[in-house]
Amino acid sequence: MGKGGGCVPSKKKHPPPDIAGDGDTEAIPIPIPLDDQTDTATTTPVVMSTSTNLRIFIVFYSTYGHVEKLARRMKVGVDGVNGVEAVLYRVPETLTEDVLEKMKAPAKDVEIPEITARELGEADGVLFGFPTRYGCMAAQMKAFFDSTGMLWKEQKLAGKPAGFFLSTGTQGGGQETTAMDIVGDSLGMIPLNCIRMDIVGDSLGMIALNWLFRYSIRMGIVGDSLGMIVLNCWTAITQLAHHGMLFVPIGYTFGAGMFKMDDIRGGSPYGAGVFAGDGSREPSDTELALAEHQGQYMAAVVKKLSLA
C-alpha cells in the first residue's frame, strides 16, 4: 500500500474478515489487499448484494481540500473490503460566501451532499474528518455534533464504531490533540487532560491541579477564581463517548509506514492526517496510503462487529 508496505500480514496468521465465523475470537485483522480477498472469496463465497452492504459514512469538513483528499482515498480503502461500502458526506458550512471568498477557499464539490443528523443514524460506522483550529476541531464539525441532540437522546449511535482523520497547518498543530481529549487555550499555553478531568499542567509539567476541573462537567470555558486560566474544550473523543460510540484508532497497524522518518508525514495512532502548511502543500503518497489503510481497517472492524 504505497509507502506503508509493512501493514500487510500473512494469510496464515490473519484470515480475512469475510471468512471469520461467529465464534472467531481472534483480534481484528489488518485489511488485506483486494486481490487476496478475491482469491479467498473463490473458496468461501459470500453472496452480498450492493443493497445489503454495510455502510461507513465518511463525514468531513474541508476548507481548502486537504481533508477531502484524505476522505476520497479513505473511501477507496473501505470499498476495497468485500461487503462494505463508503459514502462521502460533508457537514454544513457555517461561514458566509463573502468570508469564504476572502479566504480564497475553493468551491465545494456539489456531488458530495451535506449530511443531516438524522442521516447519520443510518450508518454502520463513521469516519469523521476535519482540520484543526488551535489544536481543536473546526467549528463547522463542532456545530454538526451539536445538532445531533436527538440522536444522543435516543442513543441511536450507541455501539457504532467511529474514527477520526485530520489536517493541520504545522507539525505541532494538533495531529494528536485534536483527536484525543487534550486541548489548550487559543494561545497554546495550557493543555487540559479531559479524559480524567482532574489533571491539568503546562507543557513543562510544572503545574498540576487535581481539583480545579474535576467538576467542570460542561468543559466549555472554565477558569480559576482569579480568571487567569481559560480553556476552550472542543474535543473529539468526548463526542463519541456521549453518543456511546466505539472509538477505533488505527494504532500502529500501518506497519513500517508509521516509523518512516525520511519524509514529512501527518497522521498518528489516532488516525490518518495531513500537514497542509500554508495550504499549498498537497498530501504525500504516505499520507494518502495511511488514509486508505484506515478505510480498510475500519471496514474490517465494522464487518467483524456485524458478525458478532
246-283 confidence digits (pLDDT tens): 999 999 999 887 887 777 777 789 999 888 877 778 88
pLDDT at 67: 94
pLDDT at 249: 94
- Distance in angstroms (rounded) separating the CA atoms of residues 269 and 253: 8
Strand ranges in the chain using DSSP code E only, listed in sequence order: 54-60, 84-90, 125-133, 136-137, 161-168, 182-183, 192-193, 199-200, 221-222, 231-232, 246-247, 273-275
Ranges of the chain with pLDDT below 50: 1-50, 181-234
pLDDT at 134: 79
pLDDT at 140: 95
Rounded to whole angstroms, what are the CA distances from 298 to 31, 112, 124, 133?
A: 9, 21, 11, 26
Backbone angles phi, psi at 89, to 5 degrees: -140, 150
pLDDT at 278: 76
pLDDT at 263: 76
pLDDT at 176: 57
pLDDT at 265: 78
pLDDT at 301: 97
